């Protein structure tokens, strides 16, 4: 042990005290405060480091500058059954692409495809890909109001699969599996959408789903159970239990 006795007296290390006044310990509910408390010496050191190490601030690059002033293109083909809805909702599709993403858009009547390209006014580097995903989601069968969420939120995804990817079915067995997923007048599909906060499109043998990653997993499991022949009541209960756990977790 170390001996701290000197001149007949014992030295003890003084405890570190932080100055806490009534004003500093009082919490005002109307003001959002930081939960990190630091001593005055640490605050002075951090302030000195911020003053000495000023980092340069660079302006944000536009999409044209980031790609070396190269114009990028995307082309999304329009299926025959979506040609009429595209013509009816063309203005609603064009508005976010031009005004929000600053893209140049046109519809090529020869190839029946929507063509997009960047312009000098395009600021977002990933704007062209976002626009292509938005148009592709509409071509799959989603409503414009649902597909436009891909432009506003970054944690949304579109997942597609065939019913035969879950189980190899043919003839009437395949038709009954698709019918179980849709339900009478679409009730089963609406129930899955409301419970999992997703959007589902049943297009012949293809299933398209739009939502967040965790919600897509719950909806996919429910649809796969219906394709495999599980009773709808059992699927509803499992789906509600999982959705309840997810809501409690987040």
The model's pLDDT over 16-67, given as tens digits with 9 standing for 90+, comes to 444 545 555 555 555 566 667 778 888 787 777 666 555 666 676 666 666 6
pLDDT over 90 percentage in the chain? 26
208-220 pLDDT, tens digit per residue, is 999 999 889 989 9
Domain boundary among 125, 154, 183: 154
Q: Are residues 163 and 201 in the same domain?
A: yes
- At residue 3, does pLDDT exceed 60? no
Q: How far is the C-alpha of 183 from the C-alpha of 192, rounded, in Å?
A: 11
Q: How many domains does the chain have?
A: 2
Q: What is the mean pLDDT of residues 97-113?
A: 90
Q: Are residues 176 and 129 in the same domain?
A: no
Q: Which of 140-144, 196-200, 243-247 has the lowest mean pLDDT?
A: 243-247
Domain boundary among 138, 154, 170: 154
- At residue 121, does pLDDT exceed 60? yes
The shares of helix, strand and coil residues in the chain, as percent rounded to the nearest 5, are: 50, 15, 35
pLDDT at site 5: 45
pLDDT over 70 percentage in the chain? 77
Q: Are residues 113 and 144 in the same domain?
A: yes
Query: Is position 62 within any domain?
Result: no
CA 220 to chain CA centroid, nearest Å = 17
Q: Are residues 87 and 144 in the same domain?
A: yes
The range of the structural domain enclosing residue 178 comes to 155-249
Confidence band of 92 (pLDDT split at 50, 70, 90): very high
Q: What is the CATH number of the domain that holds 137?
A: 3.30.1370.10
pLDDT at site 159: 92
- At residue 237, does pLDDT exceed 60? yes
> Strand 113-117 vs strand 199-203: parallel, antiparallel, or unpaired?
unpaired
Query: Is position 19 within any domain?
Result: no
| pTM: predicted TM-score of the whole model, two decimal places | 0.68
- At residue 11, does pLDDT exceed 50? no
Q: Are residues 86 and 170 in the same domain?
A: no
Q: Across the strands, what pairs with 5?
A: 10
pLDDT at site 188: 87
Confidence band of 102 (pLDDT split at 50, 70, 90): confident
Phi–psi pair at 74, nearest 5 degrees: -140, 145
Pure H helices in the chain: 22-25, 40-52, 63-66, 83-88, 90-95, 127-140, 144-147, 149-152, 163-166, 172-182, 187-196, 213-228, 232-249
Q: What is the mean pLDDT of the chain?
A: 80
Nearest Cα neighbor of 174 from 210, 207, 198 is: 207
């Amino acid at each position: 042990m170390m001996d701290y006795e000197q001149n007949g007296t014992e030295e003890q290390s003084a405890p570190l005290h932080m100055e806490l006044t009534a004003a500093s310990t009082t919490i005002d509910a109307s003001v959002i405060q930081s939960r990190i408390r630091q001593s005055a010496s640490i605050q002075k050191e951090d302030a000195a480091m911020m003053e000495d190490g000023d980092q340069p601030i660079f302006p944000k690059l536009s999409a044209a500058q980031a790609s070396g002033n190269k114009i990028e293109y995307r082309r999304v083909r329009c299926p025959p059954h979506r040609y009429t809805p595209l013509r009816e909702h063309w203005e609603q599709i064009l508005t976010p692409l031009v005004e929000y993403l600053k893209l140049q858009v046109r519809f090529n009547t020869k190839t029946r495809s929507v063509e997009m390209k960047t312009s000098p006014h395009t600021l977002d580097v990933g704007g062209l890909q976002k626009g292509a995903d938005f148009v592709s989601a509409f071509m799959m069968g989603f409503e414009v109001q649902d597909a436009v969420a891909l432009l506003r939120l970054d944690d949304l995804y579109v997942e597609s699969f065939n019913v035969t990817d879950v189980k190899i079915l043919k003839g009437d067995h395949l038709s009954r599996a698709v019918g179980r997923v849709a339900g009478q007048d679409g009730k089963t599909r609406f129930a899955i959408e409301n419970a999992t906060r997703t959007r589902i499109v049943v297009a012949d043998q293809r299933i398209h789903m739009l939502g967040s990653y965790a919600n897509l997993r719950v909806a996919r499991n429910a649809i796969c159970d219906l394709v495999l022949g599980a009773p709808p009541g059992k699927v509803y209960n499992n789906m509600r239990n999982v959705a309840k756990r997810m809501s409690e977790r987040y």
